Structure 1
Amino acid sequence: MNKFVALALTAALLGSALAQPAMAQQQRFGVFFGDEPRDFFPERIMCLTDLQIRTTVASLGYTNIFLNVPNKKHIQVRATRDGWVYLLDFNFCTGQIDGSQELRRAN
């Protein structure tokens, strides 16, 4: 009978010790996958070349496309659309325009 009580007590203590980390895991803090814009446009295995960047920007309706120097997966692109010259922040690993700024009216 004493072995049974000792075994039951050990199992109860072990069970409560194992349940605590699981309860602590339910409190979720921090950033999760899927809640940032870059999660919707995953990076390509190989980033785009200059020609592919020009083709992608042109397919979005831009003309007179000029590329600046690449910097950390981004490149500044100056291009014209709808009578305005824009400065585009283009991520050449996702193939998406991350930002745009009107510079001036096109001539």
Structure 2
Amino acid sequence: MDVDKTLFMFGIVTLLIGIFIIIFGVFLAFYAYLNYKPLLPAGKDLQSSITSTVYELLNLVIKLAFLGAMIWAGSILLGKGIDLFKSIYVGEKKYRGSGG
């Protein structure tokens, strides 16, 4: 019975961490969306304009990739927390069913 309580608490902690990471990632993405102002300086020639534009796009893609990875990791933690709750529920159902 003590193991079930430990698993239950670990499931709650994992679930809450996953939810927090997802909410924090969505908040950061929305904040970046609201405050995004592309830096498109007027270059002296076409080559410097293209270079600065590519740099700005690469910077944006890297930020979005990190946010996506963070939300993906949070969803994995959320799923693992739900799996722990399922295993505890199935274990209690088997325990109650066999005992009486």
Is the shorter-chain TM-score for this pair beyond 0.5, marking a shared fold?
no
Higher strand share: 1
Q: Which has the higher contact order (CA 8 A, sep 6+)?
A: 2
Q: How does the TM-score come out when normalised to structure 2?
A: 0.33
Higher helix share: 2
Q: How does the TM-score come out when normalised to structure 1?
A: 0.31
